[in-house]
Chains A and B, each alone.
Chain A
Amino acid sequence: MKIVVNGEEREIEDGATVSRLVSLLDLKSDRLAIELNVRILRKGDWDSTELAEADRVEIVSFVGGGAAGSQRGAAFGLELEPEERCAGFADTFYLLRKDVQLRIDRT
């Protein structure tokens, strides 16, 4: 099946878990955060979470950065659909405003 990881399309076997993806990519799992379809996945859930066709995965970590902003949209994958939700955990949800996407389209 096809999934999108950090904006790039990738092929992975059906039913693969998030943990499987991390090990296929040969990443150090203790220094990552992962979003699946714009919801943060706790590390404890990587083993039990199966990926599905067209899932969008963001894998992030820390890089050098300072007292500085950077280019607009540089933060990381911002291919969000207008109605998608930016999720925290449990009961906290933040609706991503439509203008985020509109602004990114313009730049």
Chain B
Amino acid sequence: MSDALVIAGRDFHSRLILGTGKYETYDLMKKSLEASGTEMVTVAVRRVPLTDRSKESFLDHVDLKKYHLLPNTAGCYSADEAIRTAMLAREVLDTKWVKLEVIGDERTLFPDNEGLLEATRALVKEGFIVLPYFNDDLIVARRLIDAGAAAVMPLAAPIGSGLGIQNFTNLRILRECIKDTPLIVDAGVGTASDAALAMEIGVDGVLMNTGIAGARDPVKMAEAMRLGVKAGRLAFKAGRIGKKLYAAASSPETGMIE
């Protein structure tokens, strides 16, 4: 039975989206992507190095037939910068997809929701498929969806912090209230149980980078994350039991020997 994640009409069979930054080597990145089972990876737009020609091209190391690229606007601190970056990304490989970040604060990397909304509106108008990174605010989520976002991606904790799901209740509320737009946890996941917990809430997917790239063994952690996402998804679909304060026997209470 298919349980695809559908974003803007495109099916993904993995609910894990991976960043491609912070890996020590391209080889480690490739193996980690492979082990994670992901089908969509984020990339950043940067100046091409003109003097150091020894640098290998990043795109030589990503199988574009296997992975759908999701360019990001990381490092952008205003709607204008983000729009400019998204437009350049579209030109690099003719893609309309963008993981939209408009950062509002350097220390926390929390999003600037006002700039985010402005950029979302402009880019949707330009025909982009926009996946905005925002904080877990239902009202902002609704506005982003009204502006045409293809998915909404709340953080679970600050980017790269590895703190795990710090906003369980807010994510639950988001899930209860947002039924028709993919909801993807973006940032904060530190280990496999965090990914599983996010998926148990019923979010549609998880996006992570540092949790894998920063692990002692990224390839193993990538596999753990794949399994965590899968376990959480299955548990969500299965429907967990209700919580009770007291014991409920699980062996038959009749037919006891006397």
Give residues in A with beta carbon < 8 Å to B.
Answer: 5-8, 25-28, 31-35, 38, 40, 42-43, 58-78, 86, 88-89, 92, 94-97, 99-100, 103
Contacts and interface: CB of A to CB of B under 8 A. Distances in A.
Given A40-B91, A62-B71, A86-B84, 16 more contacts: A5-B50, A6-B50, A33-B89, A61-B45, A61-B48, A63-B43, A64-B44, A65-B72, A65-B74, A66-B72, A67-B207, A68-B187, A73-B75, A75-B75, A88-B83, A94-B80
20 contacts: A27-B48, A31-B59, A33-B45, A43-B91, A61-B48, A61-B57, A64-B20, A64-B58, A65-B43, A65-B72, A68-B109, A68-B187, A71-B75, A75-B73, A75-B75, A76-B46, A76-B47, A94-B83, A97-B78, A100-B78
Contacts of B20: 64-66
A96 B74 contact: no
Interface of B: 18-23, 29, 42-48, 50-51, 53, 57-59, 69, 71-81, 83-85, 87-93, 101, 103, 106, 109, 122, 125-126, 133, 159-160, 186-187, 207-210, 213
Contacts of A8: 50-51
A76 B45 contact: yes
Contacts of A62: 43-46, 58-59, 69, 71, 89, 92-93
Nearest to B86: A88
Contacts of A71: 75, 106
Contacts of B79: 94
Contacts of A70: 44, 74-75
B163 to A, nearest CB: 13
Contacts of B160: 67-68
A74 B72 CA distance: 13
Contacts of A77: 47
A72 B107 CA distance: 10
A60 B48 contact: yes
